[in-house]
Each structure stands twice: as C-alpha cells, then as structure tokens.
Amino acid sequence: MSSQFVVAIHYQKQTLLTKDLVKGLPDSLKDEMIKQVNEIKSESVLYIQGNENLYHVKSKDVIKNNDNLKNNKNDKTGATIISSSFEHSSKEKKLIKNFKNNNYTIKENGKLVAHKLPKAIWKYTSKTKKVAGYNCFEATTTFNNHKLTVFFTRELWTKGSPDKLPFLDGVILEYNYSHFYVKAVNVDLQVPLITNFL
C-alpha cells in the first residue's frame, strides 16, 4: 500500500424482492413482505489505496414491526398470521482485493487466505448517468451465473469494485446483481492511509 491518501466510497445496498421470490407466501402477505424487505438497506465502504481495494460491510441488525401483517387471514387455508415482525441481520465482512494480481484476501480461521477473482468479459453499452456526482458508463457481464450490470467511472483514475465483483477499467459506483441493487452515496477523496485492515 503505497498511496499517501485513500479514496473511500460509501455504498448503500438494497434487496429488490419480487413476487417470484415470495411465491410460497399467501397472496395477502406478498405485497407487504416485498415492501418491508425492499426498505431494508445495508452500508459498506470501499477504500482504494494503491493497487488494493479494502472492502468493509458493516454489521447491522434490523427488526421490522408492522401492524399491517397482524391478523392477516390466508383465504385458502383459513390460517391467521399473528406475527408482525421479522429480523434481518448482516454480518460484518472484510476483504482486500488486488487489481494487479486479480485476487482477494480474507481472514479464515484466524489466517489470511488469498483467492483468485473470477475473470469477466465486459460488454460496454452506450448508456451513461451520474452517480455520486461522477460521470459513469454502463457495462454488463455474467458473474456466478447471474447478469451483472454496473455503472463505473474513469474520473477517479484507478480501478475499484465492491465485494468480490470483478475489476474493469474504472471504479464501479452502482450495480444490479441477482436481486440486489447497490449504489455509491458518497465519495471521500482525502482519507488517511489505512493499516491493519484485516
């Protein structure tokens, strides 16, 4: 890690639950469950320092209470739903990615273990948009058998991708993957050097 200053990108992640993902629930609960789950957001930070990306998902516990779910009767079975809350928790996660070596390192059983990042064949489109104040371009690929659509910028003059996503020629500020939507909400260009991340 040779850079004096670090770029920090703060992301917000949202689950995009759809009716096909809750098809086993009674019809009277589907819309309310989709609404509640889609309101849950988690936060993460990507620090870009030299050739390395340090990615940190903050742990969070959410308990949602909603009286709209109380005493909902399932028309087919006649069963009454009496619970009106559900829990969602996300564990803290940290990893270090290196775009020169195309790998990531995590702590497993107290030891640092390196893994190769998957290679991606990116398809660039003509779509553009602003994300967190930066001009971004759209690119798509297949990642772990799911379509991955990203908006990335070249205005930060480095490479960066959150989580275990593959690298491309820029910094990913927004992406859709499976049933997740993640967007950068803030970019800080003057963060002090980070040591002992893992």
Tens of pLDDT, residue by residue over 54-67, are 999 886 644 444 44
Tell me the C-alpha distance between 140 and 148, whole Å.
Answer: 6
What pLDDT is attached to residue 38?
65
Question: What are the pLDDT digits (tens) for 45-98?
Answer: 999 999 999 999 886 644 444 444 444 444 444 443 334 444 445 578 899 999
- The answer to whether residue 147 scores a pLDDT higher than 90 is yes
Q: What are the pLDDT digits (tens) for 19-36?
A: 666 677 777 676 777 677
Q: What is the pLDDT of residue 62?
A: 47
Q: In three state form, how does the secondary structure of the chain look?
A: CCCCEEEEEEEEEEECCCHHHHCCCCHHHHHHHHHHHHHCEEEEEEEEECCEEEEEECCEEEEEECHHHCCEECCCCCCEECCCEEEEEECCEEEEEECCCCEEEEEECCEEEEEECCCCCCEEEEEEEEECCEEEEEEEEEECCEEEEEEEECCCCCCECCCCCCCCCCEEEEEEECCEEEEEEEEEEEEECCCCCC
Rounded to two decimals, the pTM is 0.78
**Whole-number Å distance between alpha carbons of 163 and 148:** 13
pLDDT the model gives residue 95: 95
| Residues 6+ away with beta carbon under 8 Å from 178 | 146
Q: Is the model more confident about 4 or about 66?
A: 4
pLDDT at 94 (0 to 100): 94
pLDDT of 151 reads 98
Determine the pLDDT at residue 18: 66
| pLDDT one-digit tens code per residue, 157-192 | 899 999 999 999 999 999 998 888 999 999 999 899
